[in-house]
Structure 1
């Protein structure tokens, strides 16, 4: 798989550029001879996919085409750097298809405000270059069809739900009565993943002025979306960066970072879960009862394929806890689910879980305009801390983060 380069820029506007690695261990000067020294490593092992969401659409009649006068709807989530790409066959042709310019329909203006209403000017009509007007095979680059007004044949309308950052695109066949009356075939759509600095795929489906590919050719010639659906499905998935990880050595049965089923206590977990900023919780825990040491692994976001680590000291009987932001979320964090002896060695990934801090309204991971990934601030909510459920197809914890102690 191609290597994806993630610039070391904050996926959160609130994340600070450098962290002071400090320990508030008052007993360091009196450390006993049997103290332990360990290194904990946090590795981002998620597999980046080109698309955060994708799907298909078709007519609702006995035949799945979209006839003149009929409409279909596409619901999808997106942040201000993302765009929607779709494709459907111009049915009364040998190899023409509707789609927008790459990377897709623009969804937000330069100020970050969602674009709504009539966006029909975004649709273009393309000649796939694989058949001539008589239906004979040819091999030419994909180009725009001249002298046909695509927005006259297809109306596009966008609605937007700001709380969920979800769009609804209505596609209406308005070709009836024109010189280019045509049905539309079933179609496909996709929203490219964004890594904090760029789209992972800025030319989905096809490349203008280049030869076509088998997937778009099947749509353009036959209205068959099976190949493109399969290709999109295999390359669609939620991914994330991780924030620097806060590691705490403590005594007692109470986890000082969070309590499941309780409200956020205002000590700084919210700042980690929303922006990846560990400073407030780091400072708050200095005076927390039973704290033996506080450490920070890393000083910048941790993209897929990267890892951070930190060494720590602990006495027999100490416990360890850790927390890092699920970066492409509104307010989620990874942490150990159960108490862990600080003397432990090995893989702690199975002891790690994904939690919702209950401080910000959730949006689709990696496609929510209020997420720090897009420079946003979550809409406030007041809920108890809970494990993240199955509302979104988030990869299993062990497919995103690997935590080991040596």
Structure 2
């Protein structure tokens, strides 16, 4: 038997720079900025006031009315993006055996906004005013559960919690499930951390940019880097066995060719960061060498010491300026559980269009030694991409994508 090849046949995008691939990809190539002043709550009293906020998303336009009061904003993004991904893949799950269909998502914050609202009801109005849906709407695994219920997907279901790295972990787990015999897996991640409760939690991490200039607030690999800007949204994917997808005539965005994950030692241990090892494991898993990779999608922390760690890992694997590097998330903000998945979608679109999207508003510092694609797109001349992701606390993940 030939080995199972995991390919992406459908995508759904909910990003600060566009809802749906048709809006998101052109905006990414143009370098449109999705970072703006927060409007979901009054941020005047907080030291950080900018976010990658999605506009024009009305849940009732995309979901049944009964689901809207049950779900946090992050789940509404996940459900809508899953619907779009199924439609994009040309798959009707109701026509398939539900036991052969699985769900694996990534989560980071859970339903912060929903949880805050119901806790406010508890303290200000009493327990009778707390929604029964509070029992699950805040939970980090709720997206997997709601997607499974909505589409009657009865195969293995789970959630990976690794902050930004978790998005790649979830996609890798989807590939494992295909190799175990599933026909199709819904995978990806979305986040919705733009509420006062979520905002305070992020401020405590010490890495949020406090700039009030949208074009200067998130500057990875720049001497003026001052932290990252949070964002909301993400992406969902339909992943299938390549042979089965080919047999049904499905469009294939690309192959999930390799994956690696590591965990950093404690900062006080003196140990080396492990991002390089994750990248090398992903390349080995894909049977690829550095020369096969046409672009690296960077994690892009926007914090000087963290950018240095990533740049050192990239140059150790590829050599100084040895591969084009890009960070389109500089225009959307970091989407946490949704960020790396959105990078995967962007990399697949780049491979399909043979075009590297730019990193906007950044003047790369020469001492990083990387070839950062800035200001305008650049041709992509090799059929594979490497996506890097790191999660707060030491999580590292890397994924090789290959043109189908």
| TM-score of Structure 1 vs Structure 2, range by shorter chain | under 0.3
With the length of structure 2 as denominator, give the TM-score of the two structures.
Answer: 0.26
Answer 1 or 2: which has greater strand percent.
1
Larger radius of gyration: 1
